[in-house]
Amino acid sequence: MVKDLLGDTLQGMLEAEMDQQLGYSKYDYHNKETDDSRNGYSKKTVTSSFGDIELDIPRDRKGEFMPQIVKKNQTDISNIEDQVLSMYAKGMTTRDISEHLKSVYGVDASAEMISHMTDRILPIAKEWQNRPLEKIYAIVFMDAIHFHVRQDNQTIKKAVYVAIGVRLNGQKDVLGLWVGGNESAKYWLGVLTEIKNRGVQDILIVSVDGLTGFGDAISAVFPKTEIQRCIVHQIRYTTKFVSYKDVKAFIADLKDIYQASTEDAALSALDTLEEKWGKKYPSSVSSWLSFASILRIVFL
């Protein structure tokens, strides 16, 4: 899909370069102010990281046309792929994409060419977003990444909600990406409901941060699922109650738990943590004792 899009993009840009060279678009003879004209195409195969791409290089009768996007003797385009594909991430408007093409390549891309590309990519993206999922996932990690984006001529902050699942065979699967406003448990409830509607019947463990109401949202959709703070947030939470002079030693003992290679080793390290720090920091240790049931599922 990406190879086809890249090929269409390059072809459209080559045509735009020829339009710029001659000063008029194809078949628009009323605006022709040159004695030069188009003279068919020559075939060219270029190599990309997605595979070989066949291009039709426009020719002019005077032989003066020198394309810039794919130069005359250039056969490897892998060095420009990232720049070409970045068009799709630049913005949603025709103007934004056109300006990007103009600034990077000096090529004027028509609105029709851009519409053709987006018309092809959007249905494919929609199909991926709505694809059926596995019935059971061992673990699902949920978190939001926040970005500053341009919208209506102003910069606002948006959250991209990310759900990554681990299948029973250990394979990771991106369940989906959702763009919303600021992160909220209410929005996560909608995400979880969508995941269930796409075929997920059960999740053994969901790993999340400490967002208020997140646990309630998960329990409402998957009531039997174990909810566990991700390791980073779990450590941050428990070290809030630990004296500064003990933090390094405390964290070192925590590593023996979450970096253990077997369930027995992890539970043994958990016992050591309780014996060493239980009386001094009961709140911190108790949150890790509740971690024991999760460990048994992880090493199952």
Domains of the chain, by residue range, sit at 2-127, 136-229, 231-298
* 147 pLDDT above the threshold of 90: no
* 45 pLDDT above the threshold of 70: yes
Architecture in CATH of 136-229: 2-Layer Sandwich (3.30)
292, 299 in Cβ contact below 8 A? no
Give the DSSP H or E segment for 143: strand 136-151
DSSP code of residue 92 = S
When pLDDT is cut at 50, 70 and 90, the band that residue 217 belongs to is very high
**Poorest-confidence range of 27-36, 37-46, 158-167?**
27-36
Q: How does pLDDT run across 58-115, given as a tens digit for each residue?
A: 888 888 888 877 888 888 877 655 555 565 555 546 666 666 666 655 555 555 655 6
Percent of the chain scoring above 70 in pLDDT: 80
Q: Is 180 helix (H, G, I), strand (E, B) or coil?
A: strand
56, 70 in Cβ contact below 8 A? no
- Does this model's pTM top 0.75? My answer is no
